[in-house]
């Protein structure tokens, strides 16, 4: 009989166990699709505590781990602001796009 691993075995135990991003690497989508965005999230790296809430809740999967903090792929961010809402330390601000 095949032994099925328990769910507990899949729970990350350290920051390093969590995948770099929640989506495929940039380049998998062939067309940049953020040209219509009118505000963009900007991360204050000094305030960021690396809790990954923005990473987990971004509906586009465009936030990636970056040396204990996070970074945003602006080629695919749609500017919805969910990451800002989820950031308890208030490390994300929304800035107007300068087209
Ligand atoms: S603004 Fe929306 S799409 Fe862009 S990084 Fe934040 S949650 Fe993701
Ligand atoms: S939610 Fe805020 S503090 Fe947490 S990783 Fe994202 S930017 Fe950093």
Is 60 exceeded by the pLDDT of residue 26? no
As a whole number, mean pLDDT of residues 52-57 equals: 96
Ligand 2 atom closest to Cα of residue 87: 1
- Domain span holding position 62: 39-99
With respect to residue 49, please indicate whether it lies within any of the assigned structural domains. Answer: yes
Q: Which ligand sits nearest to residue 40's alpha carbon?
A: 1
51 falls within a domain: yes
Q: Report which bound ligand comes closest to the CA of 89.
A: 2
For residues 29 and 79, which has the higher predicted lDDT (pLDDT)? 79
pLDDT of 33 reads 73
* pLDDT score, position 80: 96
Helix, strand, coil percentages (3-state) for the chain, rounded to 5, are 15, 20, 65
Q: pLDDT value at position 30?
A: 67
Give every CB contact of residue 68 below 8 A, 6+ residues apart in sequence: 15, 50
Question: CB under 6 Å to ligand 1: residues?
Answer: 41, 58, 60, 62-63, 72, 77-83
Interatomic CA distance for residues 98 and 5, integer angstroms: 50
pLDDT at 2 (0 to 100): 73
Pocket of ligand 2 (CB under 6 A): 43, 48-54, 70, 86-87, 89, 91-92
Q: Is the pLDDT confidence value at 86 over 90?
A: yes
pLDDT at 22: 81
Number of folded domains in the chain?
Answer: 1
29 within some domain: no
Residue at 22 is within a domain: no
* CATH code of the domain containing 84: 3.30.70.20
Rounded Cα distance between 28 and 5, Å, is 30
């Amino acid at each position: 009989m095949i032994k099925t691993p328990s769910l507990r075995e899949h729970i990350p135990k350290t920051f390093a166990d969590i995948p770099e991003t929640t989506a495929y690497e940039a380049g998998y989508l062939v067309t940049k699709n953020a040209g219509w965005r009118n505000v963009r999230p900007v991360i204050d790296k000094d305030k960021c505590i690396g809790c990954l809430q923005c990473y987990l809740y971004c509906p586009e999967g465009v936030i990636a781990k970056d040396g204990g903090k996070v970074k945003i792929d602006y080629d695919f961010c749609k500017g919805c602001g969910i990451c800002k809402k989820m950031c308890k330390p208030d490390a994300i601000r929304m800035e107007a796009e300068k087209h």
